[in-house]
């Protein structure tokens, strides 16, 4: 992808909690997956072509073992149909909510919808914006697990039969870290099992990254500004002049992020257009070759039929 639009800059952050960010196309079930992780209906979730989540939101839960899980639900980030300035603001807000770093990015996909090149392009834009390192934190979560209950099919079988190339590429980006979620199940055991499988993958992600959550220079800037905006008496009230500075910086940061997004989306869109065009040309050539072969066979058949007829008449 030609490198990162934001320089990677790491620092160790020790937490008693893990921050998970939900990313995916509108309608794939991000909010429902967030609710399954939290164990309660904290995010609005319903069938809607327009999407229910309009802004980034964070909700938390404490597991039995004491671990706190922060889940950040997002609207359709890196969606080509969205306005770059709106998306830019939401990306900065997401980073603000995850100021101590992101422990895992959950790419929420659906077994009910066909994975497209546009969806892959959105994921590639996300990776290009945050840098190659973000790949080490990505986990693919397939929603619609109840489909497998009805068909007795497994996720491996689903992915194994005529899996589209864009989806194969996405799974490779996640280093084959995949899990299936049934967000409709009422079975406590099934709920527990799928959550444990996800948390195991998060643990593998953290092991791969030496326990260090994803952060970069933008995270550090936001954290420093937020820390400087607090009055020294320990009460979380904003000092007015500094708060104004924070808001101004937040606005400038959002403008910079929006500009990056426009550049990345233009680049990714052109790549995607070239790929789709190449695919269409290949399909056209294949169809033309098949038609030509059919015509050759038809001509040979007619010639053979004519020869047989002439022989029969002599």
pLDDT in tens, the chain (314 residues): 444 444 444 443 434 789 999 998 888 899 999 999 999 999 887 655 445 567 899 999 998 878 899 999 998 766 655 677 788 888 888 988 998 899 999 999 988 888 877 778 788 878 888 888 999 999 999 998 888 776 777 788 878 777 788 888 889 989 999 999 999 999 999 999 999 999 999 999 999 999 999 998 888 877 777 766 543 444 444 445 545 566 777 777 788 888 877 777 665 544 554 454 455 555 666 676 777 776 776 777 677 766 666 666 66
Residue 116: other Cβ atoms inside 10 A: 15
Give the C-alpha separation, 252 to 282, whole Å.
45
Res 15: pLDDT: 46
Quote the pLDDT of residue 220: 80
The pLDDT value given to residue 283: 63
Residue listed under structure tokens 């960010």: 21
Can you read off the two tokens belonging to residue 249? 């910086």
Which two three-digit tokens encode residue 62? 């404490």
Let me know if 274 is exposed, middle or buried by CB neighbors in 10 A (0-12, 13-18, 19+): exposed
pLDDT of residue 257: 80
pLDDT at 309: 63
- Predicted local confidence at residue 156, as pLDDT: 81
- How many other C-beta atoms are found inside a 10 Å radius of the C-beta of residue 264? 21
19, burial (CB in 10 Å: exposed 0-12, middle 13-18, buried 19+): buried
pLDDT at site 294: 67
């Amino acid at each position: 992808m030609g490198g990162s639009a934001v320089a990677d800059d790491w620092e160790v952050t020790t937490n008693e909690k893990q921050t998970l960010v939900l990313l995916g196309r509108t309608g794939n079930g991000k909010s429902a997956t967030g609710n399954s992780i939290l164990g309660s209906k904290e995010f609005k979730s319903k069938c809607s072509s327009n999407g229910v989540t309009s802004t980034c939101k964070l909700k938390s839960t404490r597991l039995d073992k004491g671990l706190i899980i922060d889940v950040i639900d997002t609207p359709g980030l890196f969606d080509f149909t969205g306005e770059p300035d709106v998306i830019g603001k939401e990306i900065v807000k997401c980073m603000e909510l995850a100021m101590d770093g992101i422990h895992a990015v959950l790419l929420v996909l659906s077994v009910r919808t066909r994975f497209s090149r546009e969806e892959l392009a959105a994921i590639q834009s996300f990776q290009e914006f945050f840098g190659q390192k973000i790949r080490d934190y990505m986990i693919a979560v397939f929603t619609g697990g109840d489909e497998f209950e009805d068909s007795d099919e497994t996720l491996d079988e689903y992915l194994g039969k005529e899996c589209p190339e864009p989806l194969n590429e996405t799974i490779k980006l996640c280093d084959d870290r995949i899990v299936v979620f049934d967000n409709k199940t009422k079975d406590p055991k099934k709920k527990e099992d799928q959550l444990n499988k996800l948390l195991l993958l998060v643990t593998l992600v953290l092991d791969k990254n030496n326990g260090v959550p994803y952060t970069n220079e933008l995270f550090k800037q936001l954290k420093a500004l937020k820390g400087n905006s607090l009055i020294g008496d320990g009460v979380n009230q904003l000092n007015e002049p500094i708060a104004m500075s924070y808001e101004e910086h937040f606005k400038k940061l959002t403008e910079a992020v929006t500009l990056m997004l426009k550049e990345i989306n233009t680049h990714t869109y052109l790549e995607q257009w070239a790929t789709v065009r190449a695919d269409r040309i290949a399909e056209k050539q294949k169809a033309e070759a098949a038609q030509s072969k059919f015509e050759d066979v038809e001509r040979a058949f007619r010639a053979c039929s004519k020869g047989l007829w002439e022989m029969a008449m002599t």
